Amino acid sequence: MKDEITREERVDNLKGMGCSRKRVEDARFTQGKGNYVDDIKLDGMLFGDFVRSPYAHARIKSINTAAALEVPGVLAVLTAADLEPLGLHWMPTLAGDKQMVLADGKVLFQGQEVAFVVAEDRYAAADGIEAVEVDYEELPVLVNPFEALQSDVTLREDLVGEDGSIPDGAHGPRKHPNHIFTWDAGDKAATAEVIDNAEVVATESMYYHRTHPCPLETCGCVASMDKVNGKLTLWGTFQAPHAIRTVVSLISGIEEHNIRVISPDIGGGFGNKVGAYPGYVCSVVASIVTGKPVKWIEDRMDNLMTTAFARDYHMTGKISATKDGKITGLHCHVTADHGGFDACADPTKFPAGFMNICTGSYDIPTAYLEVDGVYTNKAPGGVSYRCSFRVTEAVYFIERMIEVLAIELNMDAAELRRINFIKKEQFPYTAALGWEYDSGDYHTAWDKALKTVDYDGLRAEQAKRVEDFKAGKTRKLMGIGLSFFTEIVGAGPVKNCDILGLGMFDSCEIRIHPTGSAIARLGTISQGQGHATTFAQILASEIGLPADSITIEEGDTDTAPYGLGTYGSRSTPVAGAATAMAGRKIRAKAQMIAAYLLEVHDNDVEFDVDRFVVKGAPEKFKTMKEIAFAAYNQAIPGIEPGLEAVSYYDPPNMTYPFGAYVCVMDIDVDTGVPEIRRFYALDDCGTRINPMIIEGQVHGGLTEALAVALGQEIAYDDMGNVKTGTLMDFFLPTAWEVPNYETDYTVTPSPHHPIGAKGVGESPHVGGVPCFSNAVQDAFRPFGNRHTNMPHDHWRIWRTANALGLHD
């Protein structure tokens, strides 16, 4: 048989790995045909909403629901007293703590859920909420974790013995009633010794402020209990639908096979939708009580004020080096503000996430990290916002410490990085705090970045600008922001990563249909990352069927294989690997079918793009389409009919993507307005599946980095009032503030991942925040600036200029 088309054309037809295939999801999204939770409308569906606490810390003396129950359309009002007999007034958090579902005796943060009003529609629920009378007695408020650790006000009375004793928490001993855990890594004594005897030491304290990912779609769910069949269906904004099913089963007692959890389209997750919220529990209970479906959807203020915040890390560092800039040791202490309940969503053994990657991209022989978690009167959460489990904090910390050390050494910060990078030949590299970096080539990436932006030219221009400024010729300073980051994503190896005891493997199940098209289902769930597009590309390359003929389905626990969901940029490293492995099982069976059809031995055929060919006789082949059909219509001795496969993949290690970013900024010292002139981002995420999707991820992550570095903050006043609970006060960048990003890449495959891919979803955020911040700080370096805290909004930048005497 003669080919009609060339081999290259056959490759192109697959739209497999490496192709900038257009997003298949966008057909529905761009036409308003997405199906989000709030689009779900069921017969007789009710609406539930919360009475929330106006106080950050108060005792609840009484709740009177009588007037609310009189409001037309209100059907029920749930309080902790109603949930208590069911054992549902508290729920477990993903961090081993427990959290009130509805206020039980007291409230611990502003906006906390106090009562759940169930009504015929959202409007009646709102009227009902107004009519619930709650009598509060205000208590002293603690919003500063350092004060909380000294205070004699106990926030969590449930965690103190009657005799005043302090029982251990989920992560060991606690040293104060408001203390959650101490977690450490590395060699404390050796690090102290190295730093004490070092030629040069730089010390700095920094605060990575509290912020919020603010997805366009807020959190919500619809619970529908079918009492006849005993089946509960729960639609919701879940980044981990299977884990939610298990949690719902464990806390409700409903058997897991009778629970179906569905994540429909999700309008952005960014970690905000990993945890379990009181709204889920109350909706389920309300549906069971009323026998009707119940919907709960947060409004914007609810979302900003109460669901998973990000960061709130107070970090103090010491970094030591030789006179010529070789780093010898690193010490980091963190005071971590977790709010009223420890509801972080880290792997169990890592209460501070992967903060112990804080040695960054550098070969630092000795290091020590210690983290103290603290309760305060703020909303719970802590792991969200493209954070890779606190890697944003870790990278911000080390990239600021490097800059401060460069000042101390009076050295160029790019050069200081270069001489300390882990070298290509050192991989796999075991860091002082324990992680084994799989692969990297930092010098190549750094040199490419610096060359592309003409780093030396920029520094010369900056020096000239300083001269001009001093001579009164300009009021604008120039900052060159540098950052080099190493991420750790793909949680994770079951041996050290679990959430609530569930090992963090992931999965893919493939069914090939007789006509040569397919459906693949995964344990992950896209929230905008384009999985339906990219996972089909992995399969296209693995099994030789066009990506356009492969449906990817996620998010329905009745159909998808068990997986831990999408966060920590784990989908590609874990579920992507499962996809490739399941594809290879398909291919292995296809090989046997092909050999049978071609009447040769299995070993005499080989895979070639979209077919198996007889070795040495390329004109003799069977296409995957033909093989698929044969799997269903031929009786092949020794081979079962059908063509299906499933893979559960436990990754042997995490993946370690990295990148080199440069930001060039002009700052008007009189207005404090920064103008981003250039932003260059080089990312290395190993094998690239879809360059266009990667670029989209990078643009999104950088824009969120800009937001966090330059203005976004969840700020509290001393009374625990959230000062930034609306989009009037909470900065969301628009096209107006966002610069034109230049993206670039190198490719250093992961040696242990079946296709060499590393994650990328969070990289631009992790690397972007220090890059923007360093640009601001660098502009002021010639005038004596060492460190100022984010967010660098216009007011704070102006104050920095003022404090440095630049307005005199």
Residues contributing to the site for ligand CUM (CB under 6 A): 239, 269-271, 274, 383-388, 567-568
Give the shortest CB-270-to-ligand CUM separation in angstroms. Answer: 6
State how far the Cα of 319 lies from the Cα of 409, in Å rounded to an integer: 12
Which lies closer to ligand MCN via its Cβ, residue 225 or residue 693?
693
Rounded to 5°, the CA angle 237-221-289 comes to 155
State how far the Cα of 497 lies from the Cα of 491, in Å rounded to an integer: 6
Give the shortest CB-802-to-ligand CUM separation in angstroms. Answer: 35
State how far the Cα of 379 lies from the Cα of 364, in Å rounded to an integer: 36
Which lies closer to ligand MCN via its Cβ, residue 446 or residue 567?
567
Token pair of 16 as six digits: 């497999």
Among the listed residues 532, 524, 520, 519, the one whose alpha carbon sits nearest the alpha carbon of residue 506: 524
Burial of 160 (0-12, 13-18, 19+ CB in 10 A): middle
Q: Catalytic site residues?
A: 239, 386-387, 762
Contact partners, residue 85, CB within 8 Å, separation at least 6: none
Which lies closer to ligand CUM via its Cβ, residue 178 or residue 569?
569
Which lies closer to ligand CUM via its Cβ, residue 354 or residue 362?
354
Residue 7 amino acid letter = R
Among the listed residues 213, 165, 782, 234, the one whose alpha carbon sits nearest the alpha carbon of residue 462: 782
State how far the Cα of 125 lies from the Cα of 403, in Å rounded to an integer: 53
Which lies closer to ligand MCN via its Cβ, residue 269 or residue 340?
269
Between the alpha carbon of residue 392 and those of residues 352, 385, 411, 716, the distances in Å are: 12, 9, 25, 22
Burial of 243 (0-12, 13-18, 19+ CB in 10 A): buried
Give the shortest CB-568-to-ligand CUM separation in angstroms. Answer: 4
Long-range CB pairs of 8-11, under 8 A, 24+ apart, other chains included: 10/609, 10/610, 11/609
Between the alpha carbon of residue 331 and those of residues 30, 185, 577, the distances in Å are: 49, 10, 36
Rounded to 5°, the CA angle 383-388-391 comes to 90
State how far the Cα of 428 lies from the Cα of 437, in Å rounded to an integer: 5
State how far the Cα of 40 lies from the Cα of 110, in Å rounded to an integer: 30
Give the shortest CB-739-to-ligand MCN separation in angstroms. Answer: 19
Q: Residue 529: which of ligand CUM, ligand MCN, none does it interact with, CB under 5 to 8 A by kind?
A: ligand MCN
Give the shortest CB-383-to-ligand CUM separation in angstroms. Answer: 5
Question: Taking CB positions, which residue lies at the least distance from ligand CUM?
Answer: 271
State how far the Cα of 40 lies from the Cα of 27, in Å rounded to an integer: 20
Q: Residue 685: which of ligand CUM, ligand MCN, none does it interact with, CB under 5 to 8 A by kind?
A: ligand MCN
Hey, which bits of 324-406 come out as E strands?
A: 327-337, 366-374, 381-382
Between the alpha carbon of residue 422 and those of residues 318, 441, 777, the distances in Å are: 20, 8, 26
Give the shortest CB-146-to-ligand CUM separation in angstroms. Answer: 25
Give the shortest CB-128-to-ligand CUM separation in angstroms. Answer: 34
First-last CA distance in the chain: 84
Q: Residue 181: which of ligand MCN, ligand CUM, none does it interact with, CB under 5 to 8 A by kind?
A: none
Which lies closer to ligand MCN via its Cβ, residue 340 or residue 686?
686
Give the shortest CB-753-to-ligand CUM separation in angstroms. Answer: 18
Q: Residue 383: which of ligand MCN, ligand CUM, none does it interact with, CB under 5 to 8 A by kind?
A: ligand CUM
Q: Residue 776: which of ligand CUM, ligand MCN, none does it interact with, CB under 5 to 8 A by kind?
A: none
Residue 267 amino acid letter = G
Side-chain half-sphere CA neighbours of 564 within 13 A: 34
Which lies closer to ligand CUM via its Cβ, residue 177 or residue 565?
565
State how far the Cα of 330 lies from the Cα of 194, in Å rounded to an integer: 9
Contact partners, residue 657, CB within 8 Å, separation at least 6: 486, 487, 489, 569, 683, 684, 685, 686, 758, 759, 760, 763
Q: Residue 720: which of ligand CUM, ligand MCN, none does it interact with, CB under 5 to 8 A by kind?
A: none
Which lies closer to ligand MCN via its Cβ, residue 171 or residue 570?
570
Which lies closer to ligand MCN via its Cβ, residue 34 or residue 782?
34
Q: Residue 530: which of ligand CUM, ligand MCN, none does it interact with, CB under 5 to 8 A by kind?
A: ligand MCN
Q: Residue 689: which of ligand MCN, ligand CUM, none does it interact with, CB under 5 to 8 A by kind?
A: ligand MCN
Give the shortest CB-601-to-ligand CUM separation in angstroms. Answer: 48
Q: Residue 693: which of ligand CUM, ligand MCN, none does it interact with, CB under 5 to 8 A by kind?
A: ligand MCN
Q: Region of 756 please: left (phi>0), alpha (psi -120 to 50) or beta.
A: left
Give the shortest CB-532-to-ligand MCN separation in angstroms. Answer: 9
Among the listed residues 746, 764, 771, 752, the one whose alpha carbon sits nearest the alpha carbon of residue 437: 752
Q: Region of 605 please: left (phi>0), alpha (psi -120 to 50) or beta.
A: beta
Q: Residue 531: which of ligand CUM, ligand MCN, none does it interact with, CB under 5 to 8 A by kind?
A: ligand MCN
Give the shortest CB-711-to-ligand MCN separation in angstroms. Answer: 20
Q: Residue 579: which of ligand CUM, ligand MCN, none does it interact with, CB under 5 to 8 A by kind?
A: none
Which lies closer to ligand CUM via its Cβ, residue 274 or residue 352?
274
- State the alpha helices, DSSP H only, in 198-277: 241-252
Give the shortest CB-422-to-ligand MCN separation in angstroms. Answer: 21
Q: Residue 536: which of ligand MCN, ligand CUM, none does it interact with, CB under 5 to 8 A by kind?
A: none
Contact residues toward ligand MCN (CB under 6 A) are 268-271, 386, 527-531, 534, 566-572, 685-690, 693-694, 697, 700, 757-762
State how far the Cα of 364 lies from the Cα of 366, in Å rounded to an integer: 6
Residue 498's SS3 state is strand
